[in-house]
């Protein structure tokens, strides 16, 4: 005999409260396990594909681990040092960029930027603040990320957790399925299937889109010769999962840097005359890179890799990132997107149940207009 509905609601509410409390108190302690679980979830389809080709689960996981280790070594030796170097240079160059902006405004609007002008003082203050605060933040990130404990967490604990979770993924899902309440097992399985489809479409698909676009932006901008092109590509690719935001932020940053780099930098000496010209072609190429990237994202990458069944609105994503980030810190921001996707699936399920129930249809049993 099944438990009454009131008792089931009470028990599930208690379980949910305990889970949230554990997440709250553990905080950053569970970070390696969250990262390891996310990596295992993303790599599980690859392991399944290897198994379908005739390899055992252990061999498949070992092969994936070897490939991942090679990719990590290449990234660590070739990309990460350049990224750190360009980020530090960008922070240190910020005051000079603002000085160039000030000079440009002074030439065209001298009455606005006199010595006592508020705009002039604010530009100077912004440049100094970016250099000091940005430098402090960058140094803090470096000192934290390069500490011995965090190095052990990132280089040892996370791969080990991901390896064992990936190795036992099918067994774990089978055991969890065996623990489901028998009366609700079919419904929970259907919801879990919808959640998995949504997460697969968004996290795996959108993650691939972010990686492809970030690589494209970074490589293309570096080929053009834009300073800090790798940093711009990294930022644009990182936030591409929020529609249009990645292209807008990355494009604005890249075009702004291009204007400072290519505006009036070519000196042409003609006798006693020295004039400065602007390389509009390179500025246009930088803008075209992001225009092409936005076209590829909207017409090729997102339809092919993500699909249209995700159902996550950009505002909902921003809200989830803000709430979970403020409540649980960095771990909260990591779990914000998958939790938002799961809550979206659950919300659609309850909306469907509500529309099929008496509360919505009323005594007549009709949905109405």
Torsion of CA 142, 143, 145, 150, to 10 degrees: 170
109: domain range?
Answer: 25-169
Name residue 276's beta-bridge partners. Answer: 267
Query: What pLDDT shows up at residue 357?
Result: 78
Residue position matching structure tokens 């006199």: 114
Query: What pLDDT shows up at residue 92?
Result: 66
DSSP conformation letters of 299-362? IIIIIIII-S-----HHHHHHHHHHHHHHHHHHHHHHHHHHHHHHHHHHHHHHHHHHTSHHHHT
- The mean pLDDT of 58-76, rounded to a whole number, is 86
Shared domain check, 217 and 161: no
Query: What pLDDT shows up at residue 315?
Result: 76
Shared domain check, 65 and 42: yes
| CA pair distance 122, 290, nearest whole angstrom | 30
Q: Give me 250's structure tokens.
A: 């990355």
Query: What pLDDT shows up at residue 59?
Result: 92
Q: 141-177 pLDDT, tens per residue?
A: 445 444 545 656 667 788 888 899 999 998 998 898 8
Shared domain check, 115 and 48: yes
Query: What pLDDT shows up at residue 235?
Result: 83
Residue 102 has pLDDT above 50, yes or no: yes
Query: What pLDDT shows up at residue 148?
Result: 47
Shared domain check, 149 and 40: yes
Q: Give me 154's structure tokens.
A: 């990132």
Torsion of CA 213, 165, 68, 38, to 10 degrees: 20
Q: 283-306 pLDDT, tens per residue?
A: 888 888 888 888 888 788 877 776
Shared domain check, 316 and 224: no
Shared domain check, 91 and 204: no
Alpha carbon 202 to its chain's center? 11
Q: 221-254 pLDDT, tens per residue?
A: 888 888 778 888 888 888 777 766 777 888 888 8
Of the candidates 368, 243, 233, 261, which has an alpha carbon nearest to the alpha carbon of residue 314?
243
Mean pLDDT rounded to a whole number for the chain? 75
Q: 114-146 pLDDT, tens per residue?
A: 556 665 566 566 656 655 555 555 555 445 444
State the total domains in the chain: 3
Q: 7-37 pLDDT, tens per residue?
A: 777 777 888 888 878 777 776 677 778 788 8
Which of the four pLDDT bands, split at 50, 70 and 90, describes residue 50? very high
Of the candidates 64, 28, 43, 15, which has an alpha carbon nearest to the alpha carbon of residue 335?
28
Contacts by residues 122-130 (CB-CB < 8 Å, ≥ 24 positions apart): 123/98, 124/98, 126/98, 127/94, 127/95, 127/96, 127/97, 127/98, 127/99, 128/95, 130/91, 130/94, 130/95, 130/98
| CA pair distance 94, 111, nearest whole angstrom | 24
Q: Could you say which DSSP state residue 126 is in?
A: H
Query: For residues 247 and 188, which has the higher predicted lDDT (pLDDT)?
Result: 188
Shared domain check, 164 and 34: yes
Shared domain check, 228 and 204: yes
Query: For residues 202 and 308, which has the higher predicted lDDT (pLDDT)?
Result: 202
Q: Going by C-beta distance under 8 Å and a sequence separation of 6 or more, which residues neighbour residue 51? A: 57, 60
Q: 349-362 pLDDT, tens per residue?
A: 888 888 887 777 77
Query: For residues 82 and 206, which has the higher predicted lDDT (pLDDT)?
Result: 206
Residue 6: CA atoms inside 13 Å, Cβ hemisphere, count?
A: 0
Tell me if 41 is assigned to some domain.
yes
Tell me if 6 is assigned to some domain.
no
Torsion of CA 345, 346, 347, 350, to 10 degrees: 130
Tell me if 118 is assigned to some domain.
yes
Q: Using a cut of 0.95, tell me whether the model's pTM lies above it.
A: no
| CA pair distance 277, 32, nearest whole angstrom | 52
Shared domain check, 304 and 323: no
Tell me if 246 is assigned to some domain.
yes
Query: What pLDDT shows up at residue 336?
Result: 78
Query: What pLDDT shows up at residue 66?
Result: 92
């Amino acid at each position: 005999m099944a438990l009454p509905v009131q008792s089931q609601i009470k028990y599930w509410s208690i379980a949910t409260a305990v889970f949230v409390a554990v997440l709250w108190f553990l905080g950053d302690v569970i970070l390696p396990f969250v990262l390891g679980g996310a990596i295992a979830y993303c790599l599980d389809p690859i392991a399944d594909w290897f198994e379908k080709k005739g390899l055992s689960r252990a061999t498949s996981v070992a092969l994936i681990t070897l490939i991942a280790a090679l990719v990590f070594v290449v990234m660590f030796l070739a990309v990460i040092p350049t990224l750190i170097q360009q980020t530090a240079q960008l922070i240190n160059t910020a005051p000079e960029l603002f000085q160039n902006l000030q000079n440009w405004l002074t030439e065209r609007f001298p009455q606005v930027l006199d010595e006592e002008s508020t705009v002039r003082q604010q530009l100077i203050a912004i440049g100094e603040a970016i250099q000091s605060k940005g430098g402090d933040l960058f140094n803090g990130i470096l000192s934290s990320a390069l500490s011995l404990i965090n190095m052990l967490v990132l280089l040892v604990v996370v791969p080990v957790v991901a390896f064992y979770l990936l190795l036992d993924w099918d067994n774990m899902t089978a055991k969890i399925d065996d623990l489901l309440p028998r009366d609700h097992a079919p419904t929970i399985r259907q919801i879990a299937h919808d959640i998995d489809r949504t997460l697969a479409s968004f996290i795996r698909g959108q993650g691939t889109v972010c990686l492809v676009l970030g690589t494209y932006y970074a490589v293309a901008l570096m080929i053009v010769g834009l300073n800090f092109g790798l940093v711009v590509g990294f930022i644009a690719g990182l936030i591409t999962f929020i529609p249009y935001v990645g292209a807008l932020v990355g494009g604005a940053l890249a075009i702004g840097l291009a204007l400072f780099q290519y505006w009036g930098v070519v000196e042409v000496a003609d006798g006693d005359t020295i004039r400065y010209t602007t390389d509009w072609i390179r500025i246009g190429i930088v803008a075209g890179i992001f225009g092409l990237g936005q076209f590829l994202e909207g017409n090729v990458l997102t339809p092919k890799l993500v699909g249209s069944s995700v159902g996550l609105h950009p505002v909902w994503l921003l809200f989830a990132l803000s709430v979970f980030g403020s409540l649980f810190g960095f771990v909260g921001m990591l779990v914000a997107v998958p939790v938002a996707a799961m809550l979206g699936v659950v919300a659609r399920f309850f909306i469907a149940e509500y529309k099929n129930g008496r509360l919505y249809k009323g005594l007549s049993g009709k949905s109405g207009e």
